[in-house]
Amino acid sequence: MAREIIQVEQKVPLLKGIPLSLQHLFAMFGASVLVPILFNTWAGKVVVDPALVLLMNGVGTLIYLFICRGKAPAFLGSSFAFLSPTATCIAAATAAGLDPQLGFQHALGGFVVSGAVFALVALVIRFAGRGWLKVILPPAVMGPIVALIGLELAPGAVGNAFYKDGVMSSGVIVPSYVLVSLVTLGTVLIGSLVFRKFLAAIPILIGVLAGFLCAVLVNIWVPGTISFAAVSSAKLIALPRFVFPVFDGASILIILPAALVVISEHIGHLFVTSNIVGRDLLEDPGLHRSLLGDGISTMLSGFTGSGPTTTYGENMGVMAITKVYSVWVIGGAAVLSIVVAFFGHVSGAIQSLPTPVIGGVSIMLFGVIAASGLRMLVEAKVDYSKSRNLMLSAITFVVGISGISVNIGKAQLKGMVLATLVGMLLALMVWVFDKLGWNSEEPDAASM
């Protein structure tokens, strides 16, 4: 029996919608909160309040859904693309004998300008159209790019699931982590296959709860598997701490190249979401609306002291597994994120989720995204007997997984982002050769 699909615009009853929204909150929480934790670690003090990040992620998501007219289901979480340049701003302030907080405020100015760049690109797309996307991102390029989004995230998922400190490079596999992550992953996998009715829509939430319970039991024999320190130290009601940007030309130039990374990532994510929900979201509501929503969210985050945002692959994975695409569910997750920001104990409880639980869920979520890229190639009927398609896909894949990187200022282009740029350039070259009559092969219909 086919699983019920809850469509993008479909409303969900409140009691059914809350657990569906909780899945999305759990899926994004670990990665989104990690960003402010890293900022604070580098500064040696609290320069950004994690609760503020949750607040602005929720507000930004609601703004995004409004601008996209409720037609593009996506959750906006903290972007990792800005980590390196922000660390540079904090380090520069520290080296100059200044308060690291000032370095972060300089980075905030760069976040605001980056958001403005998103909005400017959205404006260009609005008036120039998106026909050029079919030229520079044909299926033979887009399929591998989408697959790379999942493959690039996979090492982080495996690190969280099995390794000490959540890092594969530590080389230390923790047996208790293995048990907890396998229980989590196994519950999600079995639930996705055998659950029926409403339970079939919340296998990830059930998997998270099963993993959490397993971690509590394992902690009896292996102390440290789970920690409730975040709960015990939290206040019942806490107002997020706001910080305001300082606009510094040099810092803006350091931060700005990361905007290119997020724009490339955003286009890829919208392709993935379109593939998942079975609608061309780049056409309706349009790439320009989607990018504008992300840009306004990033600008607002910069003005208040939070981190820049981006559409989250974790939440795309949740939709792919559960077949629940409702923007009302995504909006519910945004509201929950806002509420959690003001309740310290609730936020602390979610922060207590052990890394192997997050890792176990992420293995499934990121794998589904990678598989979506292969699905895109199949559905587009890409003909690999043609040299052009073979060349475009082959080089895009190799650039994405080889580890090669290119530095632009303090921003580093690598992985999926660099593969996107290289794939676009190659596709443009093929298109030019077609127009000049230099290609011996007939172009694909989807690329014309």
Let me know if residue 3 belongs to a domain.
no
Between CA 245 and CA 104 the distance in angstroms is 8
Q: How confident is the model at residue 302 (pLDDT cuts 50, 70, 90)?
A: very high
Sign of CA dihedral 236, 108, 58, 212: negative
Given a cut of 70, whether residue 310 has pLDDT beyond it is: yes
Give the pLDDT band of residue 327 (cuts 50, 70, 90). very high
Rounded-to-integer distance, Cα 430 and Cα 437, Å:
10
* Contact present, 336 and 58 (Cβ < 8 Å): yes
Mean pLDDT of 255-273: 82
The whole-number pLDDT of residue 243 equals 93
DSSP 194-262: H--GGGGG-HHHHHHHHHHHHHHHHHHHSTTSS--HHHHT--SS-PPPP------HHHHHHHTHHHHHH
φ, ψ dihedrals at 414, nearest 5°: -160, 175
Q: What angle do CA 438, 439, 445 make, to 5 degrees?
A: 130
292 — pLDDT class (breaks 50, 70, 90): very high
d(Cα 358, Cα 360) in Å, to the nearest integer? 6
Residue 138: the pLDDT is 87
- What is the rounded distance in angstroms from the CA atom of residue 194 to the CA atom of residue 205? 15
Average pLDDT over residues 63-77: 95
What is the pLDDT at residue 143? 86
Q: Are 236 and 345 in contact (CB under 8 A)?
A: yes
Structure confidence at residue 275 (pLDDT): 87
DSSP element (H, E) containing 411: strand 411-414
> Nearest to residue 446, comparing CAs of 383, 370, 375, 385?
383
**Which has the closest alpha carbon to 66: 335, 337, 331?**
331
pLDDT for position 117? 93
The upper half-sphere exposure of residue 274, i.e. CA atoms within 13 Å in the direction of its Cβ, equals: 22
Within a domain: 228? yes
In terms of residue numbers, what domain contains 341? 14-447
Mean pLDDT calculated for residue range 14-37: 83
Phi, psi of 407 (to 5 degrees): -95, 130
Spatial separation of the C-alpha atoms in residues 18 and 15, rounded to whole Å: 6
Top-confidence residue, 297 or 321: 297
75 or 80: whose pLDDT is higher?
75
Closest CA to 288 of 267, 308, 268: 267
Indicate whether 152 belongs to any domain. Answer: yes
In this predicted structure, what is the pLDDT of residue 106? 95
pLDDT of residue 236: 78
370-412: per-residue pLDDT in tens? 887 888 888 888 889 888 899 999 999 999 888 888 876 656 6
Q: Which pLDDT does position 445 carry in this prediction?
A: 56
Answer whether 135's CB lies under 8 Å from 427's CB. yes
27-36, 44-53, 186-195: range with lowest mean pLDDT = 27-36
Give Dmax over CA atoms of the chain in angstroms. Answer: 71
In a domain, 8, yes or no: no
Residue 446 to residue 155: CA distance in whole angstroms? 33
Is the peptide bond prior to 285 cis by the omega test (within 30 degrees of 0)? yes
Q: What is the pLDDT of residues 142-181, one digit of tens each?
A: 888 878 877 887 887 888 889 887 777 777 888 888 999 9
> 367 versus 232: which is more confidently predicted?
367
Residue 365 pLDDT exceeds 80: no
DSSP state letter for 2: P
Domain count, the chain: 1
Identify residue 69 by its one-letter amino acid code: R
49: confidence class by pLDDT, cuts 50, 70, 90: confident
What average pLDDT is seen over the chain? 85
Which pLDDT score is estimated for 337? 93
Give the count of alpha carbons within 13 A of 161, CB side only.
21
Residue 65 confidence class, pLDDT cut points 50, 70, 90: very high
What pLDDT does residue 405 have?
Answer: 82
Query: What's residue 41's pLDDT?
Result: 67
* Angle between helical axes of 415-436 and 257-277 (0-180°, round to 10): 80
Q: Is the pLDDT of residue 217 over 90?
A: yes
User: Which residues are registered as beta bridge partners of 309?
Assistant: 78
Average pLDDT over residues 26-36: 77
Model confidence at 75, pLDDT cuts 50, 70, 90, reads very high
Amino acid identity for residue 315 in this structure: N
> Residue 380: which of 129, 134, 148, 73 has the closest Cα?
134
Question: Does residue 7 form part of some domain?
Answer: no
User: What's this model's pTM, rounded to 2 decimal places?
Assistant: 0.76
Eight-state DSSP code of residue 48 = S
The confidence score (pLDDT) of residue 357 equals: 86
**CA 123 to CA 224: how far, in whole Å?**
50
For residue 5, tell me if it sits in a domain.
Answer: no
Domain assignment present for residue 6? The answer is no
pLDDT at 155: 85
Residues 155/157/159/165 CA torsion (nearest 10 deg): 140
DSSP letter at 3 equals: P
Predicted local confidence at residue 3, as pLDDT: 65
Q: pLDDT band at 223, cuts 50/70/90?
A: confident
Q: What is the mean pLDDT of residues 242-265?
A: 85
* Closest alpha carbon to 143 in 381, 429, 330, 308: 381
Residue 142 in any domain: the answer is: yes
